[in-house]
Structure 1
Amino acid sequence: MDSALLKPRFHLDLWIGFTVQSWILDVGRPVVMLVLPADWFPLNRPGAAEYLHLAYNITTPLILLKLIERSPRTLPRPALHLCIIAVVMGTSIHLVADSITQRLLLIGYQLHLSVRENPIMKNITPSSLIDSFELLFYYDESLGHSMCYIPLFLVLFLFFSGCFTHRKQEVKMPLAAWILLPPSAAHYWYLITEGQTFILFIFTFFAMTAMVMHQRRRGMIPEINGLFLLYSFSLALLLVALWVACLWDDAVLRRKHPGLIYVPQPRAVYTLHLRQHTSPQQPDRSHAAPIQM
């Protein structure tokens, strides 16, 4: 109760650091791949995008640890430490699998198609190697994303659970928070669409909303940092809805993302609709010589 009576302070340094490093090291990787393609570097060594990924694997856990230290309430340390370890492992798995995926793109792999529907996979001998590539994409899109994003959203929710103050306190977001809100929400949109974490995101958002309703009955309201997180998630959900609405009738992407939850990946949209227009000089390698291993 004593901490709830203290005047809340917006953690501008942490939120700027989290947003900037996410945009440069996470969202910026596809941009670097376009400006500095992987075939400009030795294909058996990391490229520019992989070095950004390495930096992201280091900075993200550090910022999450600092965020935990700023929490107004005492959080369960063993659970938080396990979350940080899982984030490191998940981002590391994703780094390795994503690096191999970039090499496959150079020989004609198309992200908007499944592994078995890709033309280059039909040329692989022996055909049983397709199972190995399916395992690779399982590590990339399922296991790696789950180990990275589940603890990430859990840490954000646990931090949010401590961001409440007494109703008598005047809570008003500063101008810096409003300026930082759009890029923060856009980053969460990228995590949802590219990371395919819509179910995880929506459950986290519903849990945050339920906690707000529960705390209001106790005479508590979200403080500045809690409002910033809540507004960022709300705007991100709106961006996802607009994204899905624009691509609702795309039959090819619906084959890539079957089922009730349809959230296309930005990279799949790029390889399907934009790649041939932005790089017409690149030869079509989808009918290259058979891959033998």
Structure 2
Amino acid sequence: MDTRNVRRRGRADDLEELMIEDVRDMKPSRSTDSFHWDIWLLMTVQNWVFDFGRPIAALMFPAEWFPMHLPSVGDYFHMLYNLVTPFCILKLFERSHTKTSSTFRNLCVIIFVMGASIHLVGDSINHRLVNLGYKLHLSVRDNPMMQSLQPRGLVDSFVLLYNYDEVIGHLMWYIPFFICLFLYYAGCFLGYGSVERQSQSISWWILTIFSGVYYWYLVTEGQIFVVYFITFIAMLGYMIFKKTKQNSRLDANGLFLLYSFALCFVLVIIWVMYLWNDEALRLKYPGLLYIPEPWSYYTLYIRK
């Protein structure tokens, strides 16, 4: 027997077994560009109901059902939003193609919940003030009910409440929220040959429109255009980088986020152009970065 042939066969067999084991360890690549309908639909619906619909529900339900010293229906909506949104974000991270640091993303979710909870308290009191005649299109000190408030030191307390509601709460709420969306978006890129190209359905486009309109409300009412715009530019820049340097393209989930943000940008521009020469709103929103809040417009022109 030729020992050299045996040795060669042994080496070939070992190499073949090693290749088989490597193939077994590889995760099968996805053959379709799947869209996370369950998560995005839940997130969009709860955004419209629990966030956008929160102040509307507070106005629609009879005041005697929710006394001033107890949480209103809008407060309960806000509580549900604070639960459902982090759940959706965490589920998105679970399905991401790339895994980010669990410590960092959990820290972002914790800060998000803290900021949204701070906003819950401030917004609850703010809507009760509206029912008592508070004007949202005026600053705290310029409101008639604040000018007659005694002692005068109480006005500073309401200014502090406003800062917790509209500044601190919003920044702690939205900065980690947009960071989470960008981190997920960064994992939505796949090679051109790794997935089957699919045209998006009409229902996908409808959901994208609803999502984009909600982000318009979020950016204008939350006064977070700078945070949103930085995120949007980062998304565009990262997409260009991945396409030119790594020959990658967005999957359906990444396109959903990008198109929603793009529609939001167009709607913000239209909104600002429509109210650009409004003298009353200019008093509350001076300067070049002029983006009025929809509810300020409501209390000024619609509510009787």
TM-score w.r.t. structure 1 length?
Answer: 0.90
1:29/1:52 contact within 8 Å kept: yes
Q: Are residues 251 and 112 of structure 1, via their aligned partners in 2, closer, same or farther at CA, if it must alter by over 3 Å?
A: same
Instruction: Please tell me the residue identity of whatever aligns with 2:43.
Output: F
Secondary structure of 2:142's aligned partner:
coil
- Equivalent-residue separation in structure 2 for 1:24 and 1:179 (angstroms): 17
Find the aligned partners of 2:226 and 2:288 in 1 and give their Cα distance: 11
Counterpart Cα distance in 2 of 1:180 and 1:230: 13
What are the residue-to-residue correspondences of 1:25-40 with 2, within 5 Å?
25-38=50-63, 40=65
Aligned-pair CA distance for 1:54: 1.0
1:46 paired to 2:74:
no
Deviation at 1:174, TM superposition (A): 3.2
| Structure 1 residue 3, shift from structure 2 partner | 7.8
CA distance in structure 2 between the partners assigned to 1:3 and 1:272 by the alignment: 58
**Paired residue for 2:302?**
274
Which residue in the other structure is 2:106 paired with? Answer: 81
Report the CA distance shift for 1:37/1:97 in structure 2 as closer, same or farther (over 3 A).
farther
Gaps of 5+ in 2: 1-25
Q: CA separation of 1:153/1:38 partners in 2, compared to 1, >3 Å: closer, same or farther?
A: farther
> Is 1:183 matched with 2:203?
no
Which residue of the other structure, out of 118, 143, 148, is the alignment partner of 2:173?
A: 148
Aligned residues: 276
How much does 1:4 deviate?
Answer: 7.1
What do the CA deviations read for 1:139-165 (whole angstroms, capped 9, x no partner)? 000011111111111100000001011
SS of 2:303's equivalent? helix
Higher RCO (Cα < 8 Å, 6 or more apart): 1
Alignment of 1:228-247 (within 5 A): 228-247=256-275
Judged with a 3 Å threshold, the aligned counterparts in structure 2 of structure 1 residues 221 and 2 are, in CA distance, closer, same or farther, namely farther
Task: Determine if contact 1:39/1:106 at 8 Å carries over to the other structure.
Answer: no
Using the aligned pairs only, state the percent identity. 47
Structure 2 CA distance for partners of 1:118 and 1:187, relative to 1, 3 Å: same
Q: Does 1:257 align with 2:285?
A: yes
The separation in 1 between residues aligned to 2:189 and 2:31, in whole angstroms, is 11
**One-letter code of the match for 2:250?**
P
Partner Cα distance (1:270, 1:196) in 2: 16
Q: Which runs of 5+ in 1 are unaligned?
A: 277-293
Q: Which amino acid aligns with 1:66?
A: K
CA distance in 1, matches of 2:156, 2:269: 34
**1:30-71 deviations in whole A, cap 9, x for unaligned?**
211221154542111011111111111111111111111111
The aligned counterpart of 2:243 is: 216
* Structure 1 Cα separation of the partners of residues 258 and 141 of structure 2: 40
Question: Quick check: 1:5–1:166 contact (8 Å CA) kept in 2?
Answer: no
In 1, Cα distance between equivalents of 2:296 and 2:106: 34
CA-CA distance at 1:251 after TM superposition: 1.0
CA distance in 2, matches of 1:91, 1:45: 19
SS at match of 2:190: strand
Distance, in Å, in 1 between the alignment partners of 2:123 and 2:255 is: 34
TM-score by length of 2: 0.87
In 2, distance between residues paired with 1:60 and 1:87? 10
In 2 relative to 1, CA 39–102 (structure 1 residues): closer, same or farther, beyond 3 Å?
A: farther
- 1:206 and 2:233 are equivalent in the alignment: yes
Deviation at 1:5, TM superposition (A): 6.3
Q: Which residue of 1 aligns with 2:186?
A: 161
- 1:38–1:103 CA contact under 8 A, matched in 2: no
CA shift for structure 1 position 122: 0.7
When Rg is computed on C-alpha atoms for both structures, the one with the higher figure is 2
Specify the SS of the correspondent of 1:46. coil
The aligned residue for residue 11 of structure 2 is: none
